[in-house]
A and B are shown apart, each in its own frame.
Chain A
Amino acid sequence: MKNLKNYLSIALLVLGSGFIFTACDDDAPEPENTVELITNVTLIFTNTADNSTVTARAVDPDGIGAQPIQILDDIELAANTTYTLTYEILDAQDPTDPEDIGEEIEEEDDEHQLFYGFTEGAFVNPVGNGNIDNAADPVDYNDQDGNGCALGLDTSWTTGDAQTGTFRTRLQHQPDIKTCTTGANDGDTDFDLTFVLIIN
């Protein structure tokens, strides 16, 4: 029986190394500052003459949930006036703690570019219908990435005479492929929004 005791202690020793209990933890995952998804886009047109602003918003509050997106405003601009267009881009899936995705885009400016499309003749500068259909078409970019290629978080627009049309803005994510000639179909789309454009 003494042998048996010895064997038993070896048995317990061997098994002890394997019998590790899974702790019955009750923890939920830590909250994440989500930095990926865009839920709120606000276009901010600033009149260069008097610094007054016109804003237009598009939101998808539940992100990838089943609720459709909402275009909340039309873009109402004054005729024959020059504006600069800037953005507020947020991930507000957690409305109590929204993240500024605009900052993320600026940090990774060599992977991003905004492209524009609009009713032909809506603007005297830039002329044409924008660069979504053809990347070489004119758009007045005021900002550049580290490689000297356009970014598009800051652009200039001079309206034409009173009219109604559409204004489309499209953010492309182009990791590893962005050059000064890549277009609106290169890379993947982060947002692609079409607003009603009213010029009075």
Chain B
Amino acid sequence: MLAVWQVIMKFKVLLLIVYLSFIALQAIAISDCDRIISGRILDQSTGEPLPFAVIKVISSDNATISDEEGFFKLENICEDEVDFEVIFIGYKSVIHHHDFMNREHIANGHIVYMGQDESLLEGVVVEGNEIVGGLESLSVQQLGRSALSSKTNQSLAAAIGEIQGVTFTSLGSNVQLPVIHGLYGNRILIINNNVKHGFQNWGDKHTAEIDITSADNISVLKGASGVRYGSEALGGVVVLEGNPLSLSQEAYGGVSAGYQTNGRGYNANAFYGEGKERFSYHVGGSFRRVGDRSAPDYLLYNTGMGEYSVNAGFRYHLPQWDFKAYYSFVDQELGILRPSVARTIEKFAEIVEADEPILMRDFTYSIDEPRQDLAHHLATSEVDWYSSIGKLSLLASYQVNHRKEFDVRRNAELPVIDLTLTTTDNRLEWYHPEFGGMEGTVGLQFFSQNNDNNPGTGSTPFIPNYNNYRTSLFAVESLKKGENTYELGLRLDHEFISVRGRETNQDIFRNEFSYTNLTATFGMVREISSEWNFRSNVGTAWRAPNMAELYSFGQDGFRIVYGLWRYEADEDGQLSTDRVLTGQDREVNAEKGIKWINEFRYQKDRHDLALTGYVNYIDNFIFLRPGGLGSFLWGPGPIYIYDQADALFIGADVTYRHRFTENLKGTLGASYLWSRNVERDEPLINQPPINLNAEIGWDTPSFLGLDQSKLILQTSYTFRQFQAPRTVSPDDLISGEEEFTIDSEIFDFKDAPDGYFLANMLWQWQKGKLGGQLEVRNILNTSYRDYLNQMWLFADDLGRNVLITFNYNF
């Protein structure tokens, strides 16, 4: 271990040396009056260009106006840094601080989004495409601040679940994880404020502890973007960006409060910020509480939740330098549907076959077992240095995640899982300017995690204590040639993992192992004509097997789960769990995926069509499958084992937007995914079914003196998952009618739920600084079961929910 530690120390010293030598290379700035600011002015809510806007350098006579397409160019600037103002009648003026040493601004120009005078939206200036940039050939969907402001009472997964091809898997209403093109959990990377969210991301019962009210923008990258963001990005990446901390910005802030009928939930959040000439800061906080929710016909026992969060950011700017720090804290208490608890297969049979949950109680806000108590701290600091050689960015981050889970059991007051996970992610990145036609980013990353079981659970740790250390080197470059842009990326990762755990007899087991992996991406963007655009990307990604996949040994409800290194089978197919294996006994290879994703986009007049097609092949895909029927003191119990096989995913998403009139817009969307375990020639479980959706949005004429009023009707039809595995009823399993061995084909305990139609309505209004929304979800109060919500086996999903939100922004 000491040797490893020394390597790490050396790495850090090296990082510092590299950093210092770049500083020594600094060129002396040239101060001719030939500086230019260029960009484009767009309407914040419609995205239409704004012609003839005035762009003016503050406290000078230097000014220009935008052309018919909204483009502008401000020339003859002498200073290294200036503030410029954009003025357009009927819109709020925007002031922006510009640093000429930031080459990204020059390369990409500015996009100035202006908010209408009566609109709630403040203007925003986007400088290049910082975070998502570097992978232009990937299909990217974004939720901006205005879209997020209507989702303050949703989880991250539910909020982005409206994007075509993205959905979410859940354990009831509180634990939700994003699914991109059929992959979720460890196969989707969540980047929060520039760093990988460090949480207990294993199994499918853990949500990411993120409050979306802290995000300014959320992007979903649907390709395998492992090169840019690191391992685990097999299905895609979700990127949350915090407040951009713009300089020279008048004080701004807002409060909002809401109520929802289903679960009698209430929530509130507030934020405040200000940008001065040299520094900028923001603070924010939110609070949410929901009681037992209800399906159309009954209350759902123990489905309440509570959450509060705070966040703050600070930026200090000096010529050529930016210093940033960010902190956030999220605390959650999540209830899990009580009548889903079954320890024996007999009990499971009873609750699965019941038409209604067998346990009911009157409405309450109290949260009992099973429940999860979570606390997550995130702190990051960043130093950016701009010079003629580009931008150098040094990022350091520290996260602490504390998870406690409580089960229905004897000693229920003791957590059954109590884990503290510490994550550090340190990066040095160099965004270099165009050189020989190439432009891109080169980076060095050091990532580490330390997971510890806290004593006092009265239960053998389900996953061991572990440390992992990952060192990575990456480069993403793009080359523009005519109508084509080509992109190439390479990344080298080395991950070392040290494990210490306890067997159920409390003997200690230890293991150390490592993975080295090279990932690559190649992409192109081609503008076929002014209407047609084509982008294509082939990317690889990988991930090391997680601790639950390797070392699980315990009960998960009525199932007994063994990790890859906790079981072996003899020639007769008899399972043995007498010892803990290592890589010598059973080789467990890293999961490796290759995803090819293509997007055609057609935009003309009233039409906007996006067609995305993809193929994703995953080598050594790790999955859970039935492994036989065990005998225990409480009776027979199904055993599940982790295994590896190759899997294939092929699918398409299509979105068509039509603008009927200036005020009336419609959207049609569809998603289709075919997936299969090709090695065992059997279906995969929990895959998203086909979904069709239609939305119509109408900016209503003014009434009641409102400045703005918008009505949106959303409908969707989700098909039955006809690719679901075969069905074996728990009764057939108990009676022995269905033989259950280590070679059994994967199955589910119940036929996949029927297709269902859902309708939602949203009315947003605004008058001056006051705004609000009235939303009705599941208007028809349809009883349905969502195949991706694990609770579909036990209870109906949520019934009608009326949500009212008011906000005041200044």
Contacts and interface: CB of A to CB of B under 8 A. Distances in A.
Interface stretch (B379-387, B703-711, B760-768, B791-799): B379-387
Interface stretch (A22-30, A43-51, A125-133, A143-151): A22-30
Contacts of A175: 369, 408, 412
B502 A188 contact: no
Given A11-B321, A64-B632, A190-B634, 12 more contacts: A11-B383, A11-B385, A14-B381, A18-B381, A21-B8, A25-B450, A27-B465, A28-B501, A28-B502, A29-B455, A35-B410, A189-B634
A7 B342 CA distance: 60
B424 interface: yes
Interface of B: 1, 4-5, 8, 12, 23, 26, 316, 318, 321, 323-325, 341-344, 346-347, 350, 359, 368-369, 379-383, 385, 394-398, 408-412, 416, 422, 424, 426, 448-450, 452-453, 455-461, 464-465, 467, 498, 500-502, 504-506, 508, 510, 553-555, 560, 562, 567, 574-578, 630-635, 639
A63 B504 contact: yes
Contacts, number: 193
Contacts of A178: none
Given A60-B633, A65-B578, A188-B342, A29 B461 contact: yes
Contacts of B635: 189, 192
Contacts of A22: 422, 424, 448-450, 467
Contacts of B631: 60, 68-69
Contact of B505 (A94, A105, A191): A94
Contacts of A33: 458
Contacts of B455: 29-30, 32
B1 A26 contact: yes
A191 B450 contact: no
Contacts of A35: 410-411, 458-459
| Interface of chain A, main secondary structure | loop
Given A7-B321, A35-B458, A97 B411 contact: no
Q: Which 7 A-B pairs have the closest CB atoms?
A: A18-B396, A30-B455, A28-B500, A18-B381, A29-B453, A35-B458, A68-B631
A29 B465 contact: yes
Contact of A7 (B318, B341, B500, B553): B318
Nearest to B457: A32
B482 to A, nearest CB: 41
Classify chain A's interface size.
35 or more
B502 A10 contact: no
A15 B4 CA distance: 23
A191 B368 CA distance: 25
B590 to A, nearest CB: 22
A30 B500 CA distance: 11
Contact of B560 (A64, A68, A95, A111): A64
B380 A36 contact: no
A38 interface: yes
A62 interface: yes
Contacts of B576: 66
Contacts of B465: 27-29
A159 interface: no
Contacts of A20: 398, 424
Interface string A168-196: 00000101110000000100111111000
B414 to A, nearest CB: 8
Contacts of A66: 562, 567, 574-577, 630, 639
B528 to A, nearest CB: 45
B506 A94 contact: yes
A4 B506 CA distance: 57
Contact of A62 (B350, B397, B577): B577
Nearest to A33: B458
B410 A188 contact: no
Given A32-B461, A32-B502, A14 B323 contact: yes
B25 to A, nearest CB: 12
